[in-house]
Structure 1
Amino acid sequence: MPQGARGQESGRMFWKGPCPRGAVPREYFRMGPPASPNNSAFVRAAIGFAVYFGLSAATLALSRVNGGLAIVWLTNGVVVAALLTLPARERWMHVGAAFIAICIASALFGIHPTVSALLAPLAPLECVLTAELLRRLRPRMDFLETVGGVVVFTFVAGVLVPSAIAVPAAFVTVPFTDQPFFDSWFRWAAGHGLGTLIVMPLAIMLWRGEVADWFRTSTRREYVDALVAFVALSLFALLVFLQPFPLLFVAVLPMVFATLVAGRVGASVALVIVAAIGTTTTLIGVGPIAALGVSSPIQVHVLQLFLAVTFLTALPVSAALKTVRSLLRRAEENESHFRMMASHSADGTLRLSESGRVTYASPAMGNLTGIESDRMLGRSFLLFFPRKDRGRAKSAMTSALRAPGRDVSLEQAFDRADGERIYLEMIARAVEHKDGGKTLVGSIRDISDHREAQQMLSKLVQTDPLTQIPNRRAFTEKMGQLLQNLPATSPATLALFDLDHFKQINDRHGHASGDEVLKTVAATVTLQKRSGDLLARIGGEEFALILTGAGLEEAARVCDRVRRKLHGLDILDEDGVPISVSASFGLRQLCRGDNQDTVLRAADEALYAAKAAGRNRVYCAEMPFDVPRKSSGAA
């Protein structure tokens, strides 16, 4: 079926797909069992006619004062509820039924036949306008579910439309009554607005099937509580309206109690009970309103004011209560979902208060840290870090709290309870609450394997595969760091050296022997250099040695010792033929602020000077200040 087409399921009309603007969502078409000859649209319209006529007749016969308009007009509330909930094909049937019912009731109990004939079309027109405005302003039909919906419903159904229709109604009424125009306008606007506000919530819940749902889903205890609340409300209202003292608004208290017990259904029923008792007692001349000693029109206005305040108390409270209950239910569902996901995840989950104390720790935290998750509760998060690392952890937590909604990550070594050292990564995010408080939620995982793999990869990237010493990349990074952070009081020297006549070694003895020479040279220099020095292979047969903490003279002595050791190596090729090895060195002392390329060029020039002087010797580059060039001949 195409999107938006109407279908039928279990006899109920519904829309498939997105609800078009102005259409009633599927859940509101709950009109009972499947259509049958005894339960068709015509039967519903006939039942509606009977209800509309009964309400109209009762209202006109019982609530008119001094021959004027009715105090409270209840019919419109039921008609508007029908127009908002019934399928479109039935709406005009109910408009027609309401028109006929009102015409008959007005002719029998109204002001005058002529007035009745003129006023009868205005009430259905008011219903149509109210329903259309509500449908367009609140397409989701949430008149009773949200405070915003209650506000729109109150303004449109209780103020805007009744006030507009009251203008022609007053013009029609004034010639046939002794009431001034404003009184007639106000009585129509107030009576019709209050009647719609009082009756429509209960009527719309009846049409939607919410009352039936409440009876079907409530427990026996809830039935008893609701019954007690309604009986207590009725007795309380009778006591308030049968005594002469001005205690009207005390009746609001049991209304709120009924709302708390039975929700929107309780609020709607309580509103009808209070309105019925208050109107009846006032019309028969008893109660606090009648005891005011004012004229009947003033008593009517006081009663209408009371009913308006009662409505504005009950419905918003019920809407707010529903919102709170919905939020609590959603929070419980989210908490349950959060705990379920956390309980079945290999990653640990922590929830911290704003002060950093653990309020929740998932079971995986025990597996990661070796500390039972229950033992973490109430303790400071910082206690799980070594003392020297707590400053970093606190800084990360502070950063997260300062920027709610942004992830802050922290990698930290952690000593498990069994003594094993692991590396953990924590990703924390602060959640800001409406009251201004904050909560930290963190996800913790073991990254030990990942960290080890990263270290191995980094080592591979920075290691020469043949000699297993650092390569040119590692040398360049070390040089850059050293030149940036070189202390003024701690000298350092760069030595470049390469093997003399290495091409002849490859040509005479083979490349395999040449590779063996390179490996032997790297191993020999590694043993001869100082512990803090860096040896790197930066080219084919070219090496670099960074001597930290050594001035030019000390570095020259170290390099000369290395040179002699290399010249004395006893290396044989595959045929047992000896291979003669020697190396030439070029040195350059490092100074803070030196450019790396300049230093390399100077050391390289010294190296070539050593080769030009006969090879197998150590040469130092000229310095910006007066340092004599040192050279060492062959040993």
Structure 2
Amino acid sequence: MQTPVIAALPAPSMISSVARLGLASLVLSTASLVLTRFDGSIAFIWANTGLVIAALSLRPPEQWRWLLPAFGVAMFAATVCFGMGLAAAAPLLAATMTEATLPAWLLRRWKGHFFDRVAGVVMFLLVAGVLGPLVGAVIAATAISLLTDASWERTAIRWFTSHGLGTITFTPLIMLLLRGEVGRWFQVPLREKMGPVAMLGLVAVVVAGVFLQDDIPLLFLPMLPMLAATMLYVRIGAAGSIVLLVAIGGTLSVTGHGPIHAIPTPPLSRILFFQFYVGCAALLVLPVSALLKQHRRAIRDLSQSEARFRLLSDRSADVILEVAPDGTILHASPSVTQVAGRPAAYYLGQHGFTLVHPEDQHVLWRAHRQALANPDIAHTAQFRSPRETPEPAWFEAALRGLGGTAGQGLIVVLRDISARKATELALEIAASTDPLTGLVNRRSFLQRLRNQIEHCRVGSSQGSVALVDLDHFKSVNDRFGHAVGDLALQAFARITAATIDRRHCLARIGGEEFAILLVGISPEEAQAACERLRHAVEQLEVELPSAMLEIEGPRVTASIGLVAIDPESDPATILNRADEALYRAKASGRNCVQVAD
């Protein structure tokens, strides 16, 4: 039955940490009450809220159940012993705990790193310097006004300013202490510590000089070394400067020195003015500290990213280019030498088009513009290399804009896809070619016919279609066998390719039937070309295999049906008319050309 109780207890290290934080809370609360509570009312500066916010921000919420009681006991004891006594201890504890836990809860998503970013600093100033003290002031002023004859308004103002000032002043330094950064700073070599010590010493000297005299109002002067310390040493400089300003300036002011003490107003007004002055100083240096921290982190991340990029660029087989918006090459990886034949340094400052075939430059330029306009999306383009090689070298470019905004240049990765392109071309040729004769097949022929019809429709181009059928081809197969029949088809394909102009398209569309797309010539010229082909086929002798040399090879003739392309017709209609003409040629005794009506 004891196991759940034991399991619920914190680890020894957690107990030790809670005890140390509770003791620190007791010391800070006591110091604030003893040293800055001048009129028996509220402390002039309250640093303990900064400790509570820092400790809670650095711990997960599950550990708060151990920390909050420790802080509560410490502040309750300090209030009873050195503050307003037992009667006020409970309501003042409620006020101080509320003003600390509320900002810590609202800042929990930053996980203790709200001083590392400007947005985090702004959030801290709003919730820890304004919202928390405001809520605490309402609770505390209500309790104190009920227990004493103090004014509610005056008490609320004093609570708000003293607790807000203490939180803004001490939270950054306490955060550095709890995160171990101050301890690590003491471990660095003495030579590295001399700079921060000297800078903070200068801040202390300037603050002391300003507040030791009251003849000249030089309150602006400490801002200069405080800002310099922040810019040089970031959080250590900012936190140390604020603490020195509060410690030295506050002590001298309440002991009757300095320009603030010389202001002819009641003491409370002078205290409020000093708190306002310190708040302005904090508003100056804390955002600068966060901005510098953010900037240094960005530079470090950029340096690491560039190192990774250079390593990848130097070791990658792909070509990696950094290109300006106008296309100028700013960086080229060493692998460009294998691709383009020249050292990478040769291409620096040249236009990226030096790596692109002139006929493909418009394709890459389109992708270039798209990548600049949409930098969050990768764009691709394929192009040929301008180098003279036996086979064209193909590359695929992946382009992406830099910086997340348009117009900042590009990163381009080039990959050699020549092997893939060769495979695609082979597959494309296989899909559009008759395997026996090497001629265009029916599907490819129909596509070319559709294109020619469109050309005839929109321009002045002419064209004709001829259907060719080998006469008595079945008897060739029956007498000599299909192997010889195949030889006859191949011989016909060769003689036709040699007879007709290369601009025309010859296709095998089935069995012994062929089609010819005659482009750019008149119907009369097309008929003359068909007659030449018929005559050439008539003279054709099919060479037989060596095993059949004693047999005379078959002789073939061709019947041809010709039709002029009508721009208003479709491929099926044109082929039907050519087929009708072919049928008439067969019926007319074969080995002739017939033109469709």
Deviations 1:423-472 (A, max 9, x none): 333222223456x6421111112233332332222222222111122221
Structure 1 pair 210–118 and aligned structure 2 pair: CA distance change class (3 A): farther
Once the two structures are superposed, residues 261-286 of structure 1 have per-residue CA deviations (whole angstroms, 9 ceiling, x without a partner) of 33323322221111111111110111
Q: Which amino acid aligns with 1:493?
A: S
Provide the residue aligned with 2:212 in structure 1. 242
Q: Deviations over 1:476-522 (max 9, x none)?
A: 22212211123743321110011112112211221111111111111
The aligned residue for residue 232 of structure 1 is: 202
**Most deviating of 173-182 and 203-212:** 173-182
Query: For the aligned residues, what is the CA RMSD?
Result: 2.8
Q: Cα–Cα, structure 1 residues 578 and 178, in superposed 2: closer, same or farther, change >3 Å?
A: closer
CA–CA separation in structure 1 for the residues paired with 2:271 and 2:412: 63
Q: In structure 2, what is the Cα distance between the partners aligned to 1:461 and 1:143?
A: 64
Residue in structure 2 matched with residue 415 of structure 1 by the alignment: 386
On the 8 A contact 2:363/2:383 being kept in 1, the answer is: no
Deviation at 1:379, TM superposition (A): 2.6
After TM superposition, give the deviation of residue 417 of structure 1 in Å.
Answer: 9.2
Partner of 1:594: 569
- Alignment equivalent of 1:284, drawn from 255, 266, 269: 255
Q: Does 1:185 align with 2:144?
A: no
Equivalent positions of 1:351-430 (< 5 A) are 351-385=322-356, 390-416=361-387, 422-430=393-401
Matched with 2:453 is: 483
Q: When the two structures are superposed, what TM-score results if normalisation uses the length of structure 1?
A: 0.84
> How much has 1:305 moved relative to structure 2?
0.4
Aligned with residue 138 of structure 1, among 94, 107, 113 = 107
Structure 1 distance, partners of 2:54, 2:141, is 25
Match for residue 128 of structure 1 among 88, 94, 97 = 97
Q: Report the alpha carbon displacement of residue 219 of structure 1 after superposing the two structures with TM.
A: 5.3
> Structure 1 residues 588-597 or 401-410, which shifts more?
401-410
Counting aligned pairs with the same residue, the percent is 34
- The one-letter code sitting in structure 1 at the alignment partner of 2:310 is R
Q: Structure 2: how far apart are the matches of 1:532 and 1:484?
A: 17
- How far apart are the structure 2 equivalents of 1:577 and 1:51? 117
Question: How far apart, in 2, do the equivalents of 1:61 and 1:88 lie?
Answer: 28
**Secondary structure of the residue that 2:175 maps to in structure 1?**
helix
Change (3 A) 1:578 1:379: closer
User: How much has 1:372 moved relative to structure 2?
Assistant: 1.5
CA distance in 2, matches of 1:429, 1:402: 10
Which residue identity does 1:512 align to in structure 2? A
Question: 1:488–1:265: structure 2 CA closer, same or farther, 3 Å change rule?
Answer: closer
Q: In structure 2, do the counterparts of structure 1 residues 463 and 437 end up closer, same or farther at CA, with 3 Å as the change threshold? A: closer
Within 1, Cα distance between the matches of 2:325 and 2:144? 67
Amino acid at match of 1:132: T
Q: Counterpart in 1 of 2:272?
A: 301
Letter in 1 for 2:32: T
**Counterparts in 2 of 1:362 and 1:593: CA distance versus 1, 3 Å:** farther
Q: Which deviates the most, 465-474 or 76-85? A: 76-85
Q: 2:233 aligns with which of 262, 266, 269?
A: 262
The reply to whether residue 609 of structure 1 matches residue 579 of structure 2 is: no
Does the 8 Å CA contact 2:373/2:407 hold for their aligned counterparts? no
Farther off after superposition, 597-606 or 149-158: 149-158
What is the alpha-carbon distance in structure 2 between the residues aligned to residue 271 and residue 195 of structure 1? 10
> Structure 1 residue aligned with 2:74, among 84, 97, 122?
97
Match of 1:26 in 2: none
Aligned to 1:625: none
Return 470-479 or 495-504, whichever deviates more: 470-479
User: What code does the residue aligned with 2:82 have?
Assistant: A
Question: Residue 618 of structure 1 is aligned with which of 569, 575, 593?
Answer: 593
**Are residues 1:252 and 2:229 paired?**
no
Match of 2:517, SS state, is strand
Q: Counterparts of 1:411-560 in structure 2 under 5 Å?
A: 411-416=382-387, 422-433=393-404, 437-486=407-456, 488-560=459-531
Structure 1 residues 327, 364: CA separation in 2 closer, same or farther (over 3 Å shift)?
A: same
The Cα offsets for residues 536-582 of structure 1, whole Å up to 9 and x where unpaired, read as 11100000111122222211111112112212223365361442311
Q: Distance in 2 between matches of 1:143 and 1:398?
A: 40
Match status 1:116 vs 2:85? yes
CA deviations over 1:121-147 (Å, ceiling 9, x no partner): 344334432443234323332332223
Q: 1:460 to 1:186 in 2, by over 3 A?
A: same
Whole-angstrom distance in 2 between the partners of 1:492 and 1:64: 107
- C-alpha displacement of 1:382: 3.4
Decide which of 577, 581, 601 is 2:556's aligned counterpart.
581
Q: Per the alignment, do residues 44 and 516 of structure 1 end up closer, same or farther by CA in structure 2, a change over 3 Å counting?
A: closer
1:99–1:296 CA distance, 2 compared to 1 (3 A): same
Q: Secondary structure at the match of 1:614?
A: coil
Give the letter for the 1:471 counterpart.
Answer: N
Q: Alpha carbons of 1:515 and 1:310: their partners in 2 closer, same or farther (altered >3 Å)?
A: same
Q: Distance in 2 between matches of 1:43 and 1:199?
A: 20
| Contact residue 370 and residue 417 of structure 1 kept, 8 A | no
1:350 aligned residue (314, 321, 326): 321
CA 1:599–1:421 in 2, change beyond 3 Å: closer, same or farther? Answer: closer
Cα distance between partner residues in 2 of 1:239 and 1:134: 36
CA distance in 2, matches of 1:407, 1:357: 19
How far apart in 1 are the matches of 2:92 and 2:388?
80
Deviation (angstroms), 1:363: 0.9
Distance 1:297 1:485, change over 3 A: same
Gaps of 5+ in 1: 1-5, 14-33, 107-114, 623-635
Give unpaired runs (5+ residues) of structure 2. Answer: 1-5
Contact 2:128 2:167 in 1 (8 A): yes
SS at structure 2 position matched to 1:443: strand
